[in-house]
Amino acid sequence: MVKIKAEAQMAADEATHHAARAQEEAHMLLEQSRQKAEAAMAAAREEQREGKAAVEKAMAEAARAKEEAEKQLAEAKRAQEEAQKLIEANRRIQESDVQGPSIYAVYRKMIQDGQSNEDVKKKMQENSIDEMDIEAFFDGINSYDEKIRALHAEVEKLKRTRSVRQKEEARAQDMLANLGNSSKLLDGRSLLHLAAEEGRVDLLRIIIEQDVWLYDLQGRRAADIARENNRDDIASMIEARMPKQSTLPSFDRGARQNAALLIGEREVRRNRESFVCGSFSEVYKGTWLSADVVIKRVKAFSEADKKAFWREARIWKKAKHPNIVPFFGAYFRGPKYLLVCKEATNGNLRDYLKREREQSEKTQSVWQKLYEAALGLLFLHLRNIIHSDLKCNQILVGENGEAMLTDFGMSFISDESRPSGGVKGAVRWKEPECLRAENPSQATKEADVYSFGMCVVEAVTGRFPWGNLPDFAVMHHVQKEKFLLQPPEFSDAQWNFVKSLCAFDPHRRLTMDGAVEELKEFARQERRNGGHEQMHHFEPRPESELEDSDDSDWE
């Protein structure tokens, strides 16, 4: 019976596993329904649809989507409860001796070995076992077998339920997508305003859970609209959800576009301590729904900063590429504006390569990672997007080892929000034309190319560009068109590539499509050679600790 007990335990474990999976998927479907409904309602502030019939349909679809998801969740919970019952039954079976006293062990062994019930019964009769005891023995065996079959049947039922749910998922997604296209109002009101106007308490309860805006495009409160229609009960419901001090942005066209980027603040869980902290920004780890994320909090004091924040967030949202960190959305609290993106679990490129060097005498993937980063930058340039702040700590490495760009557009903080004096940004990666100008011009693709060249130097050597030189000395030599000496880690071909990226004349610099082709070849050679043959161990020092040095780092 050991084998039968083991089978019972396995069946119970499998039932628990499938029940947990069913509950998890139901939770996910419910969350997707909520997100889609929220997106549909946010879109109601941006586009227009004709006719009240379309609005009614949208609200009905929202209610139906929520009801379906809740039904799936209830089914998953029921399955979980049933699985717990089966587990408890199995525990009782395991703890009890349903097959009778140990004198029957030899007969149980015969059944386990595959002998028929008739042969076992005959053997028991030969050994003078009483007929009533024989009958009780087989009743116990049959009862145990029935429980095993019940366990297996419940597992199969859970499997079928999960299969049906997977088939229905595509239909549910289509329904929610249609909801997103049909929930716009002709006059700029949100669904909340229509529900308030018409006294639809049933729909109001669903809509208000989604944290939709409480104002229409003319700045009227939904609560006021409800009171205009003698619905004080609805007005009270809405006001209970209103912030004490409104921090909603202005209701212009840009604000309507920004609505599509907003994610619910309550959906984000931020760690208490930041792991990067500067004068005007802080970076935290956390979670958004079930995803591990990084939360970048910046201070935007001026109207120009706020507009630039939303502009850059819209750009990032559209920049979907394997070598660009995925962006999830944004939210704000007073002057603090927050961007939420996927966490790159392997950190930045400089630290990633440092770990490679510590594990081996040669770095295995530096040119491959630079090639991947260049693909991301080329993607941006083809869409006329400028990064404007390239350094190796802005190149991250994902969980599968892929290099990804981040923080393009984090230069949006305006002059009035920054300390005064000098060139903004990291001097060692800045293009010469920026360092020469009293009033640096607008960022360009050529400037990105120069900064990327300095990233190549940083990645291959593991040191900051210009070594230990202080910033004022770097500026002096760049302005005099003096460039770095070739580091020993570079071949002549590789160094000529760097110089083509960092030409002092921006019009003579290599474009990113040309850079991608050369990097592809260097990465191929790297794979063929098994890594960079001349790489040495060293500890790159923080930029804040750089000191004066001799002139050996420049030509």
> Would you say residue 52 has pLDDT above 70?
no
Please report, for the domain that includes residue 511, its CATH number: 1.10.510.10
Please report, for the domain that includes residue 236, its CATH number: 1.25.40
Examine residue 21 and state whether it is found in any structural domain, yes or no: yes
Domain boundary among 215, 236, 259: 259
Reported as half-sphere exposure (CB side, CA atoms, 13 A), residue 338 has a value of: 21
Looking at the structure, tell me whether residues 74 and 136 fall in a common domain: yes
Query: 35 — phi, psi (to 5°)?
Result: -65, -45
331-337 long-range contacts (CB < 8 A, ≥24 apart) are 331/262, 331/263, 331/264, 331/265, 331/268, 332/247, 333/247, 333/265, 334/247, 335/299, 335/300, 335/301, 336/297, 336/298, 336/299, 336/300, 337/297, 337/298, 337/299, 337/300, 337/306, 337/309
Q: b/e per residue, 40-79, with b = 16+ CB within 10 A?
A: bbbbbbbeebeeeebbebbbebbbebbebbeebbebbeeb
> In this predicted structure, what is the pLDDT of residue 487?
94
Over range 76-104, report the average pLDDT: 57
pLDDT for 317-346, tens place per residue? 888 899 999 998 888 777 788 889 999 999
> Would you say residue 101 has pLDDT above 50?
no
Strands 268-270 and 291-299: unpaired
* Runs of H (alpha helix) within 342-394: 349-359, 366-382
pLDDT for 483-503, tens place per residue? 999 999 999 999 999 999 999
384: left (phi over 0), alpha (psi -120 to 50) or beta: left
Looking at the structure, tell me whether residues 337 and 397 fall in a common domain: no
> In this predicted structure, what is the pLDDT of residue 91?
53
522-528 long-range contacts (CB < 8 A, ≥24 apart) are 522/367, 522/370, 522/371, 522/494, 522/497, 523/367, 523/368, 523/370, 523/371, 525/367, 526/364, 526/365, 526/366, 526/367, 526/368, 527/368
Rounded distance between C-alpha atoms, residue 473 and residue 463, angstroms? 17
Looking at the structure, tell me whether residues 161 and 212 fall in a common domain: no
> In this predicted structure, what is the pLDDT of residue 308?
82
> Would you say residue 389 has pLDDT above 60?
yes
Examine residue 186 and state whether it is found in any structural domain, yes or no: no
Other Cβ atoms less than 10 A from the Cβ of 260: the count is: 14
pLDDT over 70 for what percent of the chain? 53
Please report, for the domain that includes residue 318, its CATH number: 3.30.200.20
Could you tell me the end-to-end alpha-carbon distance of the chain, in angstroms, rounded to an integer? 84
Looking at the structure, tell me whether residues 165 and 213 fall in a common domain: no
Q: Which of 54-63, 165-174, 252-261, 472-481 has the lowest mean pLDDT?
A: 165-174
Dihedral sign for Cα 502, 506, 510, 513, please: positive
Looking at the structure, tell me whether residues 411 and 512 fall in a common domain: yes
Contact assessment for residue 546 and residue 466, using Cβ atoms and an 8 Å cutoff: no
**What is the overall mean pLDDT for the chain?**
71
> Would you say residue 218 has pLDDT above 50?
no
Rounded distance between C-alpha atoms, residue 340 and residue 331, angstroms? 8
Looking at the structure, tell me whether residues 225 and 270 fall in a common domain: no
Rounded distance between C-alpha atoms, residue 481 and residue 504, angstroms? 7
Number of domains in the chain: 4
> In this predicted structure, what is the pLDDT of residue 80?
65
Looking at the structure, tell me whether residues 223 and 334 fall in a common domain: no
Q: How confident is the model at residue 45 (pLDDT cuts 50, 70, 90)?
A: low
pLDDT for 403-460, tens place per residue? 999 887 555 443 333 333 334 347 888 888 877 765 556 788 999 999 999 999 999 9
Q: How confident is the model at residue 182 (pLDDT cuts 50, 70, 90)?
A: very low
Rounded distance between C-alpha atoms, residue 163 and residue 165, angstroms? 5
Domain that holds residue 270: 261-343
Looking at the structure, tell me whether residues 496 and 513 fall in a common domain: yes
Find the helix or strand (DSSP H, E) in which 336 lies: strand 336-342
Looking at the structure, tell me whether residues 406 and 548 fall in a common domain: yes
DSSP state letters, 243-303: -SS--PPP-SHHHHHHHTTB--GGGEEE-SS-SEE-SSEEEEEEEETTEEEEEEEEE--SH
> In this predicted structure, what is the pLDDT of residue 554?
45
> In this predicted structure, what is the pLDDT of residue 27?
66
Instruction: Decide: helix, strand or coil at residue 342.
Output: strand
Looking at the structure, tell me whether residues 309 and 214 fall in a common domain: no
Rounded distance between C-alpha atoms, residue 177 and residue 294, angstroms? 28
Rounded distance between C-alpha atoms, residue 167 and residue 459, angstroms? 47
Looking at the structure, tell me whether residues 177 and 310 fall in a common domain: no
Q: Both tokens of residue 22? A: 């069913």
- What is the residue type of 294? V
User: How many residues would you count in the chain?
Assistant: 555
> Would you say residue 518 has pLDDT above 90?
yes
Ranked by mean pLDDT, the top range of 77-91, 144-158, 306-320, 400-414 is 306-320
Domain boundary among 134, 149, 181: 181
pLDDT for 269-325, tens place per residue? 888 776 665 555 788 899 887 788 999 888 877 888 888 888 888 888 888 899 999
Over range 508-515, report the average pLDDT: 94
Domain boundary among 181, 216, 243: 181
Of 392, 397, 395, 412, which is closest to residue 281 (Cα–Cα)? 412
Q: pTM of this prediction?
A: 0.51
Rounded distance between C-alpha atoms, residue 395 and residue 532, angstroms? 20
Q: Which of 87-101, 288-302, 483-497, 541-555 has the lowest mean pLDDT?
A: 541-555
CA 325 to chain centre: 9
Contacts of 551 (CB under 8 A, 6+ apart): none
> In this predicted structure, what is the pLDDT of residue 405?
95
Q: Both tokens of residue 268? A: 């984000």
Q: Is residue 3 classed exposed, middle or buried when 0-12, 13-18 and 19+ CB atoms within 10 A define those classes?
A: exposed
Examine residue 7 and state whether it is found in any structural domain, yes or no: yes
Looking at the structure, tell me whether residues 298 and 366 fall in a common domain: no
